[in-house]
A and B are shown apart, each in its own frame.
Chain A
């Protein structure tokens, strides 16, 4: 995560590195970092992380809609599912950006 963020920040904060296709690599790094974070939560055990940080309570306190307090497992499931979906989304995004990088190389050369 730290490595990917380092690469992305170096590209975003340096004028010379902002030349195309470096921003594409920076976005790939960001996607990798986010998916890695979610993968890390999954590896630790997402239900355990939810309980440890009391994310159920934070979630219920911050959403607009009314969460049924007598059925906490729905919120629990939603958080687990969102972790999995974010992980899969950014993994696919990283893969597709990589594909774009290769296609861009072919088009540029």
Chain B
């Protein structure tokens, strides 16, 4: 856990240090214009590149972990209920993250490789009539609005918390905790022992049940190994 935190903190600092120089604004003349200033403080080329590379790496690692988990948990020894709960939770988590971040990736690629981007302020100053036409063509109207891909990616990024909460609610114990809190508002004290008869509700986290299942599997493998090798006839 500690290593993950340090790895994340240091890597992100390095990446931000890489992005930072290109974030500095060069043109001083837009300070009074809010819309233009806002536009300048959107993601730039270098941050798009860093983000696109990190996202691609994440998608590869996430898909690998899904396939690995599927193959590992389909082996005998793990209970069906725990297996399905765990796989559904992990697949949902990875799937939703990949879908949401793919919109972001699309936006990054759109900015990096858009063949007909809106003109830069310098270009507009150089050829006003021609570049005004390009701005209208790029944005679809006279007003400077976000392109559709940016709009979708912004909405997706802002709504990630909702999806996280919903996926978290897929875990039975978490659902039980929320239900417990809700009942507490009405003075009803829900105990873990009350929900033990309900097959859909677990009274502990999935990780605990999974580790217990894996321990059972380990014991099973050890015993199978002992019985197999004890049957080998002695050569002497």
Q: Which of B34, B43, B47, B158 contacts A40 (CB 8 A)?
A: B158
Contact with A along B1-16 (1 / 0, CB 8 A): 1001101110111011
Which B residues between 115 and 171 are near A, CB-CB below 8 angstroms? Answer: 154, 157-158, 160-162, 164-165, 168
Q: Are A77 and B25 in contact (CB under 8 A)?
A: yes
Question: Complex: how many Å from CA A33 to CA B47?
Answer: 20
What is the total of A-B residue contacts with beta carbons within 8 Å? 154
> Which residues on A are within 8 Å of B, measured CB to CB?
1-7, 10, 14, 16-17, 19-25, 27-29, 32-33, 35-36, 39-40, 42-43, 45-48, 73, 76-77, 80-81, 83-85, 88-89, 91-93, 95-100, 102-106, 109
Given contacts A77-B25, A88-B16, contact A1 B161 (CB under 8 A): yes
Describe A's contact surface by its main secondary structure: helix
B: interface residue count bin: 35 or more
Q: Jot down 11 A-B pairs with beta carbons below 8 A, ordered by A.
A: A20-B207, A22-B207, A24-B4, A29-B164, A35-B157, A43-B154, A45-B38, A88-B16, A88-B19, A96-B12, A102-B58
Q: What are the 9 closest A-B residue pairs judged by CB atoms, nearest first?
A: A3-B165, A102-B65, A4-B161, A3-B161, A100-B4, A73-B31, A96-B8, A109-B72, A92-B12
B208 at the interface (CB under 8 A from A): yes
Q: Are B94 and A102 in contact (CB under 8 A)?
A: yes
With CB as the reference atom, state the residue of chain B lying closest to A44. Answer: B38
B62 at the interface (CB under 8 A from A): yes
Known: A36-B161, A102-B65. 11 other contacts (CB 8 A): A6-B165, A10-B174, A10-B177, A17-B205, A39-B157, A42-B42, A95-B54, A95-B101, A98-B58, A98-B97, A106-B64
Question: Complex: how many Å from CA A30 to CA B56?
Answer: 23
Describe B's contact surface by its main secondary structure: helix
Q: Are A73 and B28 in contact (CB under 8 A)?
A: yes
Q: Are A84 and B41 in contact (CB under 8 A)?
A: yes
Q: Are B58 and A99 in contact (CB under 8 A)?
A: yes
Q: Are B16 and A89 in contact (CB under 8 A)?
A: yes
Question: Complex: how many Å from CA A24 to CA B164?
Answer: 13
Question: Complex: how many Å from CA A20 to CA B16?
Answer: 28
Provide the residues of chain B in CB contact with A16, threshold 8 Å.
Answer: 173, 204-205, 208
Provide the residues of chain A in CB contact with B25, threshold 8 Å.
Answer: 77, 81
Question: Complex: how many Å from CA A97 to CA B164?
Answer: 14
Contact with A along B61-85 (1 / 0, CB 8 A): 1101100110011000000000000
Q: Are A39 and B154 in contact (CB under 8 A)?
A: yes
Q: Are B62 and A98 in contact (CB under 8 A)?
A: yes
The smallest beta-carbon distance between A93 and chain B, in angstroms, is 5
The smallest beta-carbon distance between B13 and chain A, in angstroms, is 8
The smallest beta-carbon distance between B182 and chain A, in angstroms, is 13
The smallest beta-carbon distance between A88 and chain B, in angstroms, is 6
Question: Complex: how many Å from CA A63 to CA B94?
Answer: 42
Contact with A along B199-224 (1 / 0, CB 8 A): 00000110110000010000000000
